Amino acid sequence: MKNEIWLTVIGLGLASFAIRLSGYFLALRLPQSGAWTRGLEALPGCLIAALVALMMLKGGTIELLAGGTVLLVAARTRNLPISMLVGILIVAGLRQFA
Amino acid sequence: MRASSETISDLLLGARDILPMAFAAATYGTAFGLVATQSGFSFLQSFTMSAMVFGGSAQLVALDQLTAGAGVAAAVVAGAALNLRILLITASMRAALIQRPWWQIATGVHLATDASVALMQTAKQRGALASYWYLFGGGALLLLVWVFSTSVGAVLSRGIPDPARFGLDFAIVAVFIALLPGLWRGKRDLAPWLTASGIVAVFVLTIPDFAGWALLFGAVSGAVVAGVRHEE
């Protein structure tokens, strides 16, 4: 088991570095205009939208409620720490009753 | 000398702007260290994994596969699938990395995480492109916090109250949700975002074990929709 853990740790570490490096080299080869640019510029938003969808699907009613509130607060205040705090407080509060 | 003082102020600004994400990472990291020790990881193994992989969900999934007896190859592939999305992030860091010496590129890409998206977004709202040292300052602090909190979790391993009781497991979710309004560029983002999140939803509801691929496939499909459409 000990060796298996080390192999996984090192293997995943090297794989992660290769992934990070190849993203940059991939971007170097892509054309910097037209459809490719529009796609690349939309990529961060699409990625975070996908992440949030994944996290929300894994959560229950409490997480959905808190998530919706965080979205509203963030849209209104554009303040990351405040939005985060509101989310944590709602989840912590509602879980006391769950 | 002006260049170097600019470097330092960028470093500090990046470190400051990453603080909310660092807080979220600290709770996640402590939880990871705890689970890792309970699954038979030594301190050095958790420490090395956090320093090298630098991706909470990838580390957890690999650990989970390993303890489930799936073997090294399956654990590495599952973890790598979750970290594949970082490829999209280093791709969007192109402007900050280009024309840097190779060792700065190597360090810069290693420090890339989902939080780098938040940094680039924050810089954009200030009306500037995220510079190399800005991203470096934020990424380096996040890595330190990540490795440190993993170590704390690994050392204590018992006696830490369940973070879920205080809603702390939601911190990381809240960070990503709070990023959305800033990333929204108006109606033209609607179709790409619906595509991205819709594909993830279909994936998760049909083949839940492939979350990493779902993220990559969803995000890329959304970007393709944005690329193909012409209206502004």
pLDDT digits (tens, 9 = 90+) for B90-116: 999 999 999 999 999 999 999 999 999
Q: Let me know whether B54 and B74 are in one domain.
A: yes
Res B200 pLDDT > 90: yes
pLDDT of residue B164: 79
pLDDT band with cut points at 50, 70 and 90 for residue B160: low
Q: Let me know whether B70 and B146 are in one domain.
A: yes
**How many domains are there within chain B?**
2
Q: Let me know whether B70 and B41 are in one domain.
A: yes
Domain boundary among the residues B183, B201, B220 is at B183
Q: Let me know whether B179 and B161 are in one domain.
A: yes
pLDDT of residue B2: 52
CA B113 – CA A85 distance, rounded (Å): 22
In angstroms, how far is the first alpha carbon of chain A from the final one? 38
* A92/B174 Cβ within 8 A: no
Residue A62: which of A32, A88, A30 has the closest Cα?
A88
Asked whether residue A68 is assigned to any structural domain, the reply reads yes
* B94/A28 Cβ within 8 A: yes
Q: Let me know whether B112 and B26 are in one domain.
A: yes
- For B97, the closest chain A residue by CA position comes to A24
Asked whether residue A14 is assigned to any structural domain, the reply reads no
CB B96 within 8 A of CB A33: no
CB B183 within 8 A of CB A45: yes
The amino acid at B126: R
Instruction: Nearest by CB to A88, from B92, B170, B219: name it.
Output: B170
pLDDT band with cut points at 50, 70 and 90 for residue B1: very low
Other beta carbons less than 10 A from residue B186's beta carbon: 7
pLDDT of residue A94: 93
CA B74 – CA B97 distance, rounded (Å): 32
Question: Which two structure tokens, joined as six digits, stand for B86?
Answer: 């970082």
Look up the domain containing A74 and give its range: 44-98
Q: Let me know whether B230 and B134 are in one domain.
A: no
Q: Let me know whether B170 and B201 are in one domain.
A: no
Domain boundary among the residues B149, B168, B183 is at B183
Q: Let me know whether B29 and B40 are in one domain.
A: yes
Other beta carbons less than 10 A from residue B83's beta carbon: 27
Q: Let me know whether B132 and B204 are in one domain.
A: no
* B85/A47 Cβ within 8 A: yes
CA B79 – CA B81 distance, rounded (Å): 5
pLDDT-above-90 percentage for chain B: 59
CB A48 within 8 A of CB B88: no
In this prediction the ipTM stands at: 0.88
pLDDT-above-70 percentage for chain B: 96
Give the three-state DSSP class for B200.
helix
SS3 string, A14-72, reads HHHHHHHHHHHHHHHHCCCCHHHHHHHHHHHHHHHHHHHHHHHHHCCHHHHHHHHHHHH
CA B46 – CA B5 distance, rounded (Å): 36
Q: Let me know whether B73 and B126 are in one domain.
A: yes
CA B215 – CA B201 distance, rounded (Å): 10
CB B61 within 8 A of CB B87: no
Mean pLDDT of B145-152: 96
Which residues 71-130 of B are in CB contact (within 8 Å) with A? 71-72, 75-76, 79-80, 83-94, 97-98, 105-106, 109-110, 112, 114, 117-118, 120-121, 125
Q: Let me know whether B172 and B189 are in one domain.
A: no
- For A28, the closest chain B residue by CA position comes to B94
pLDDT band with cut points at 50, 70 and 90 for residue A37: confident
Asked whether residue A53 is assigned to any structural domain, the reply reads yes
Asked whether residue A24 is assigned to any structural domain, the reply reads no
**How many domains are there within chain A?**
1
Q: Which residues of B touch A30 (CB under 8 A)?
A: 91
Look up the domain containing B157 and give its range: 2-183
The amino acid at A39: G
* A15/B200 Cβ within 8 A: no
Q: Which residues of A touch B178 (CB under 8 A)?
A: 70-71, 73-74, 80, 83-84, 87
pLDDT of residue B61: 86
Q: Let me know whether B175 and B103 are in one domain.
A: yes
How many A-B residue pairs are in contact by the CB < 8 A criterion? 288
